[in-house]
């Protein structure tokens, strides 16, 4: 039997003080990881139960659905202690190698666990990561990134696995420019995956992409990275139509791969959900995508893909996370007649290979993506000017308030003017920072991405090799 790669991706929703029921959920996820080894009986059961009957259902669920994960990609692991706990529990099932990726001021929240030795690891922070003024969203502070590890899988070869969590703001409305940061991240991630496959490695992209399958974000990522969708490849009938359909919550999981905003998830209750998401039983936001070198003798194929971690936390009435997980099994397909028979992916890693092909965006994706980035650039410029005007106004008001405090006849009111002066000064400093430093940073990054896409469009026009849609 051919070697295979069993992968789990899950957003655990691990925000400290914000995520509900975090500690109980993390313990339950740890139980699932501990029970996900090739053998989930005997000593493994005794270690993972810790004398409590609460985890029995979760262990039985994992035993039924998995014969052992080779790779686990987790997102939103924001609490260091949670990450250490999950790594410790994962070791019980043979996931003894791990990488936690640090970026920004608060960390990326990305954790990867592997059964196979990690040959190499990298973190690639995205150039566009939200706004410093959007403190609640927090993306700018955590430094959203794509973390990657290279593992040598017996029978498969070198596999570079990317774990990521794309920018969420921007929604799913008709205005693509509102998702400019997510589009930029998808373009960058596609380039990283494409570069990995052109090194002779298999490439796998996992994570919460905050986008539905029919979106421009997913289309750009798949086109630029030459990536296949494990769900779509293993279940081609599931994507016969991208239009919202009326489905039961259970059938939405089974046929459409819904991972978020499902009525089955306890955290969906009371949450504002769009009409089309409600009609279709939720949204598919979590993915396993993959590709292989164009000249590889045998390429990765999706043997199966399913939604997992849909059960309630054992002993409680809440779900394991606000997202469900995705489990995919990838294996090597039949030898390609067009590929060289002299070496597989591991040999390609050590040879100088001609650049046979590279991921290309279709003309539609390029034009739509460039238009969205250009419109966002104009919006960013207008916003920056507004912030700088507020800074200029604060320069005027701070001395006015200081003078008013000094000459106020009612001395007991002096502290009010002093407080207003301090607040105005703080606001002015913040407006200078976001209107000058932050805005120029964002517009420079936008310009870089636009230049890269325009250069790609020019090359495609010259060669006549636009990807066909």
Residue written as token pair 């053998």:
39
The domains located in the chain, with CATH, are 4-38+68-236+248-332 (3.60.10.10), 363-466 (no CATH)
pLDDT of residue 37: 73
Give the closest residue to 37 by CA, choosing from 111, 113, 148: 113
Asked if 4 and 330 touch (Cβ cutoff 8 Å), the reply is: yes
Asked if 255 and 307 touch (Cβ cutoff 8 Å), the reply is: no
What are the backbone angles phi and psi of residue 331, rounded to the nearest 5°? Answer: -145, 170
pLDDT of residue 465: 60
pLDDT of residue 466: 61
Residue-by-residue DSSP string for 296-310:
-SS-EEEEEEEEE--
pLDDT of residue 136: 81
Give the closest residue to 69 by CA, choosing from 165, 253, 206, 186: 206
**Averaged in consecutive runs of 10 residues, what is the pLDDT profile of the chain (469 residues)?**
87 95 98 79 40 47 61 97 98 97 91 98 96 85 94 94 95 90 98 95 97 97 97 78 68 95 94 86 97 85 97 98 98 69 43 52 94 97 97 94 80 83 95 94 96 91 66
Residue written as token pair 């630029």:
224
197-223 CB burial, b ≥16 within 10 A, e <16:
bbbbbbbbbbbbbbbbbebbbbbbbbb
Q: Dihedral angle at the C-alpha atoms of 125, 96, 227, 129, nearest 10 degrees?
A: -20
* The 325-332 sheet, strands edge to edge: 97-101, 110-114, 71-75, 4-11, 325-332, 300-308
Asked if 205 and 287 touch (Cβ cutoff 8 Å), the reply is: yes
439-463 and 363-406 helices cross at what angle (nearest 10)? 170
Residue-by-residue DSSP string for 226-257:
TPEEHHHHH-GGGGS--S-----HHHHHHHH-
* Spatial distance between the Cα atoms of 131 and 443, rounded to a whole number of angstroms: 12
Please count the residues of the chain. Answer: 469
pLDDT of residue 291: 96
Start-to-end CA distance of the chain, whole Å, equals 36
What are the backbone angles phi and psi of residue 16, rounded to the nearest 5°? Answer: -70, 135
pLDDT of residue 259: 98
């Amino acid at each position: 039997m051919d070697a295979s790669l069993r992968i789990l991706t899950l957003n655990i929703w691990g925000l400290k003080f914000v995520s509900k029921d975090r500690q109980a959920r993390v313990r339950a996820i740890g139980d699932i990881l501990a029970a996900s080894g090739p053998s989930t009986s005997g000593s493994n059961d005794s270690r993972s139960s810790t004398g409590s009957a609460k985890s029995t259902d979760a262990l039985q669920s994992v035993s039924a659905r998995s014969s052992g994960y080779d790779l686990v990609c987790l997102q939103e692991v924001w609490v260091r202690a949670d990450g250490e706990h999950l790594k410790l529990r994962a070791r019980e099932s043979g996931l003894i190698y791990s990488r936690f990726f640090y970026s920004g001021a608060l960390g990326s929240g990305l954790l990867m666990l592997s059964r196979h030795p990690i040959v190499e690891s990298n973190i690639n922070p995205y150039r566009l990561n939200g706004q410093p003024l959007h403190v609640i969203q927090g993306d700018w502070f955590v430094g959203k990134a794509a973390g990657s590890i290279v593992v040598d899988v017996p029978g498969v070869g070198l596999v570079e696995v990317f774990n990521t969590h794309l920018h969420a703001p921007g929604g799913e409305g008709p205005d693509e420019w509102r998702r400019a940061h997510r589009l930029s991240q998808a373009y960058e991630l596609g380039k990283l995956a494409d570069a990995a496959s052109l090194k002779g490695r298999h490439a796998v992209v996992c994570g919460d992409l905050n986008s539905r399958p029919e979106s421009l974000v997913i289309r750009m990522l798949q086109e630029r990275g030459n990536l296949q969708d494990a769900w779509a490849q293993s279940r081609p009938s599931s994507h016969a139509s991208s239009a919202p359909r009326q489905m039961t919550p259970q059938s939405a999981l089974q046929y459409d791969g819904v991972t978020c905003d499902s009525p089955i998830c306890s955290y969906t209750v009371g949450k504002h959900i769009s009409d089309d998401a409600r009609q279709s039983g939720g949204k598919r936001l979590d993915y396993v995508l993959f590709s292989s070198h164009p000249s590889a003798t045998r390429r990765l194929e999706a043997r199966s893909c399913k939604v997992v971690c849909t059960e309630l936390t054992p002993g409680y009435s809440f779900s394991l996370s606000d997202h469900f997980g995705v489990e995919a099994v990838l294996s090597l397909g039949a030898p390609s007649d067009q590929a060289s028979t002299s070496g597989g992916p591991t040999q390609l890693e050590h040879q100088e290979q001609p650049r046979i092909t590279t991921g290309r965006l279709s003309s539609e994706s390029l034009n739509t993506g460039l238009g969205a980035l250009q419109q966002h650039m104009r919006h960013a410029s207008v916003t920056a000017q507004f912030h700088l005007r507020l800074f200029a106004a604060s320069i005027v008001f701070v001395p006015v308030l200081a003078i008013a405090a000094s000459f106020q006849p009612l001395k007991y009111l002096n502290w009010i003017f002093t407080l207003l002066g301090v607040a105005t000064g703080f606001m002015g400093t913040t407006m200078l920072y976001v209107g000058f430093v932050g805005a120029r940073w964002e517009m420079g990054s936008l310009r870089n991405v636009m230049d890269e896409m325009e250069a790609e469009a020019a090359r495609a026009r010259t060669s006549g090799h636009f990807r066909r849609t």
